[in-house]
Amino acid sequence: MGADFYINKILPYAGIIIKICRAYTNSQDDFENYYQEVCLQIWRSRHNFSGQSEWSTWLYRVSLNVCLTYLKKSKNDPHKFASDSLPEEVMEDSQGFDDESINRLYAGIKKLSEIDRAVILLYLEEHSYQEIATIIGTNQNNIGVRIKRIKDRLSKILNVEENS
Amino acid sequence: MTKSIESIWKEGFIENDSLVAPKINDLYNQKSKNLIDRFHYMFSINRKAIIIGIGVILVLSLIFGLPYLGSFISVLLAGLVLIGNRGSKQLDKLDKTTNSYEYLKGFSAWRDEMIATYCKAYTYFYPLLFMGLAIRFLYSEDARSIINAIVLESPNTTLIFGLPWYIASAFLVITGVFYNFGSYLYKIDVDLVYGSSFKKLDELVLEMESLRN
């Protein structure tokens, strides 16, 4: 990979990739593999960027697509999706960030379905409903309702954890 | 007071230090673990293996004096290579940079079409392969001498294409079984290897569709 491309086109937006990859991984190893895979696919797909959307929006799209179809190497099932949610006792590491509240929020996000994780991440990154619908390829009218449901669910999860 | 998830998110990422990119190693030479790339890789390995297999079969069939059988099996295998080539070209068209629904739906449609095509191919591949091998054996000198001995012992046995009726019937029944179960064998094989990831993919597409409607 051209080092210049990584430094100039990916690294300034690494935050986007990190936030997405954290939501789909359950360990530091997985996270690093995901990050690497997303960078690889951005590099491979760079010629498909037509400039019709912002570079950052395009990065969200590629990152999400890669995370949704990333396969985890496993002895039992070499074709298992890595984003499959795991029982809490199996989660190796959910302490990806220094901020404890963010870690708890991420732990809640990881309990959502893969699609809901994508929706809420885009919402938290302050994308409009229209942008979220465009990135995911869905109906803008349903996004608002879905976000409300996800937020309710997340609040419940966080409150239960806070009270326990 | 409990903070909203929006403020947790905003405040949590005020310090950009929390978003440290991991080191990447030799990225350009990494093997992708993406589902689509994995299929690309698998198709390419399969095609190469079949092409090598065709070469080996042709050489062995010439050495053992079975050029017609060798050519026949090679033609059957070449059919599988052509299907694989077509599938690989279609897979090339899938764009990882499109929206998530089109990306997942596109892969899912490709998968369904490939499974249907291979099922149809294996419906004919297995029975034709069996027929080729069986006909070559049944009309070989060794088999002919055994069949002649059987006919001499039971001269009233009905013959079909020069074979005792029960051998001819067994041949037809086994061919029929392969014809009927060829696609099942393929589906079982696919399910064993890719069952869980395909199930997951279907769930993702279903959820996307529920969000669209």
CA quadruple A7, A13, A19, A21: dihedral sign: negative
φ/ψ bin of A143: left (φ > 0), alpha (ψ from -120 to 50), beta (otherwise): alpha
Give, for all 164 residues of chain A, the pLDDT tens digit. Answer: 567 888 889 999 999 999 999 999 888 888 888 899 899 899 889 999 988 888 999 999 999 999 988 876 555 555 556 555 555 554 545 557 777 888 889 999 999 999 999 999 999 999 999 999 999 998 888 899 999 999 999 988 888 666 65
Lowest mean pLDDT among B35-49, B76-90, B126-140: B35-49
Nearest Cα to Cα of residue A17 among A56, A49, A43: A56
What tokens were used for B176? 């029929």
Closest by Cβ to A18, choosing from B11, B21, B34: B21
pLDDT at A73 (0 to 100): 59
Closest CA to B78 of B112, B52, B113: B52
H helices within chain B, ranges in order?
Answer: 5-12, 35-63, 67-92, 100-138, 141-153, 165-212
CB contact under 8 A, A79 and B193: yes
Write out residues 142-161 of A within 8 Å (CB-CB) of B: 142-143, 146, 151, 154-155, 158-159
How high is the pLDDT of residue B49?
Answer: 94
pLDDT score for A116: 94
Side-chain-side CA neighbours of B80 within 13 Å: the count stands at 24
B65 at the A interface (CB within 8 A)? no
Q: Residue for token digits 């149809």?
A: B120
* Rg of the Cα atoms in chain A: 16
What's the pLDDT score for residue A90? 47
Question: What are the structure tokens assigned to A16, written together?
Answer: 């986007």
Q: How far apart are CA A56 and CA A62, in angstroms?
A: 10
Whose CA is closest to B22, among A51, A71, A112, A17?
Answer: A17
pLDDT tens profile B168-212: 999 999 999 999 998 998 999 888 888 888 888 899 899 999 888
| Angle, vertex CA B134, rays to CA B132 and CA B137, nearest 5 | 110
Residue from B108, B189, B200 whose CB has the most chain A CBs within 10 Å, to mutate? B200
Indicate the burial class of B136 (C-beta count within 10 angstroms; 0-12, 13-18, 19 or more).
middle
Q: How far is CA B113 from the centre of its chain?
A: 12
Confidence band of B86 (pLDDT split at 50, 70, 90): very high
Q: Are B5 and A151 inside 8 Å of each other by CB?
A: yes
Q: Give chain B's mean pLDDT.
A: 89
- Report the alpha-carbon distance of residue B121 to residue B92 in Å, rounded: 22
CB distance from B30 to chain A under 8 Å?
Answer: yes
* Model confidence at B134: pLDDT above 90: yes
Q: Report the 3 state secondary structure along A123-149.
A: HHCCCCHHHHHHHHCCCHHHHHHHHHH
The pLDDT assigned to A81 comes to: 61
pTM comes to: 0.80
Instruction: List the beta strands (DSSP E) in chain A.
Output: 71-72, 80-81
CA distance B208 to chain A (A): 7
Chain B residues in contact with A120 (beta carbon < 8 A): 5
Interchain CB contacts (distance < 8 Å): A and B? 176
Question: What band does B111 get if pLDDT is binned at 50, 70 and 90?
Answer: very high
Q: Could you tell me if A84 lies within 8 Å of chain B, comparing CB atoms?
A: yes
Largest CA distance in chain A: 50
In A49-68, the residues whose Cβ lies within 8 Å of chain B are: 49, 58, 61-62, 64-66, 68
| Unique residue bearing structure tokens 């051998």 | B167
DSSP string across A38-67: HHHHHHHHGGG--SSS-HHHHHHHHHHHHH
ipTM of predicted complex: 0.82
Residues of B in contact with A158 (CB under 8 A): 2, 5
Cβ-contact A98, B18 below 8 angstroms? yes
A19 reaches B (C-beta below 8 A): yes
Nearest Cα of chain A lies from the Cα of B194 at a distance, in angstroms, of 6
* Rounded distance between C-alpha atoms, residue A68 and residue A24, angstroms: 8
Is B89 or A80 the better-scoring residue by pLDDT? B89
B13-50 tens-digit pLDDT: 876 567 788 887 776 666 777 778 888 888 889 889 99
B92 vs A contacts (CB less than 8 Å)? none
